[in-house]
């Protein structure tokens, strides 16, 4: 069993790992993002199927950062430790800037990080899932509805 001192050290190590992830995403630093992920980790991004494993993650983030840069800011974090696993729920604000110069957009949402303690004592991501708080954009209505019955 671990005591309060261990809990504090684990909590600090997990918060530091999240800070590394945030800095890497905000710098479009693919190697920095991958350093936080466990080999078998599963990224679960909105509007894209899950991405599992370091090489698929590398391809995903290479493509993503070539099209878009991000400034994420976590507005809350709650970390729960259960043995060698930890759950962190976060809320965030993100500014998303297309690299083609189109206007940046701001969004806010929430997410869940699942971390696993590694053999060397570090913590790595095994799941990362999030979604937006903003209402969905409605899909275009069928043509006959848009134009009326005329």
Site of interaction with a second copy (CB under 8 A): 42, 44-50, 80, 82-85, 87, 89, 91, 103, 105, 110-112, 114, 127, 129-140, 142
Q: Least CB distance from residue 31 to a second copy, whole Å?
A: 26
Q: Least CB distance from residue 27 to a second copy, whole Å?
A: 24
| Nearest to a second copy of 31, 142 (CB atom) | 142
The DSSP element (H or E) to which 18 belongs, if any, is helix 4-26
Q: Which residues contact 4 (CB under 8 A, 6 or more apart)?
A: none
Task: In whole angstroms, give the CA distance from residue 140 to residue 142.
Answer: 6
In terms of Cβ atoms closer than 10 Å to its own Cβ (0-12, 13-18, 19+), residue 47 is exposed
| Nearest to a second copy of 32, 60 (CB atom) | 60
Q: Least CB distance from residue 68 to a second copy, whole Å?
A: 12
| Nearest to a second copy of 27, 48 (CB atom) | 48
3-class secondary structure per residue, 32-66: HHHCCEEEEEEEECCCCCCEECHHHHHHHHHHHHH
| Nearest to a second copy of 58, 110 (CB atom) | 110
């Amino acid at each position: 069993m671990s005591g309060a001192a261990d809990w504090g050290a684990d909590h600090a190590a997990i918060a530091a790992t999240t800070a590394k992830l945030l800095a890497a995403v905000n710098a479009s630093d693919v190697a920095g993002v991958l350093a936080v992920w466990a080999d078998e980790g599963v990224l679960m991004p909105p509007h894209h199927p899950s991405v599992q494993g370091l090489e698929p993650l590398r391809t995903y983030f290479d493509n993503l950062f070539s099209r878009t840069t991000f400034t994420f800011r976590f507005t809350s974090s709650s970390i729960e430790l259960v043995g060698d696993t930890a759950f962190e729920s976060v809320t965030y604000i993100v500014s998303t800037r297309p690299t083609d110069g189109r206007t940046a957009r701001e969004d806010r949402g929430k997410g869940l990080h699942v971390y696993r303690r590694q053999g060397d004592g570090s913590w790595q991501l095994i799941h990362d899932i999030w979604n937006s708080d903003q209402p969905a954009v409605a899909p275009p209505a069928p043509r006959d509805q848009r134009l009326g019955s005329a």
